[in-house]
């Protein structure tokens, strides 16, 4: 069981939902225009131990999942679409049957933000989902 299974778990679920990964490790803002619609970026935030004992460490792995959505004439339509996509993505990530073959014990949504891509481009949306993945690290 490992921290390294969290990002691949999210990647597998997002790819299964027909999103394409923007693979820059840190800078999500440099996304090319060819990837701007239905793409995602996984930011690893931090890891904390919630308990230790019996040869295992119960850990929370904090992740920010950013989903890029473009092509809306009206920003309000993009916001509605982002909210709808957030529900589908969360239902898929949280489903116990999707987590059971991995070391990811549970995934909790911390918060959701819907942001314009930039001040000058509010027809492209960033759906920002902050997640906590619970992982049992066996010592």
Mention every residue, 6+ apart, whose C-beta is less than 8 A from residue 23.
none
pTM: 0.87
How many other CB atoms are there within 10 angstroms of residue 54's CB atom? 7
Mention every residue, 6+ apart, whose C-beta is less than 8 A from residue 83.
114
Options 3.40.309.10, 3.40.50.970, 3.40.50.300, 3.30.2000.10; CATH of 3-138: 3.30.2000.10
Structure confidence by residue, pLDDT tens digits, 12-67: 999 999 999 887 655 556 565 666 778 999 998 899 988 777 888 889 999 999 99
């Amino acid at each position: 069981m490992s921290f390294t299974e969290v990002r691949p778990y999210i990647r597998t679920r997002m790819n299964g939902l027909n999103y394409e990964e923007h693979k820059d490790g840190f800078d999500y803002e440099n996304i090319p225009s060819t990837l701007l619609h239905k793409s995602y970026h996984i930011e690893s935030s931090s890891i904390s131990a919630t308990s230790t004992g019996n040869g295992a460490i119960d850990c929370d792995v904090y992740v920010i999942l950013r989903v890029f959505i473009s092509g809306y004439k009206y920003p309000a339509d993009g916001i509605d679409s982002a909210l709808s996509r957030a529900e589908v993505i969360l239902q898929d990530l949280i489903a116990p049957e999707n987590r059971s073959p991995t070391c990811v014990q549970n995934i909790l949504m911390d918060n959701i933000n819907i942001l314009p891509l930039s001040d000058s481009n509010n027809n492209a949306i960033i759906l920002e989902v902050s997640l906590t993945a619970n992982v049992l690290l066996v010592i």
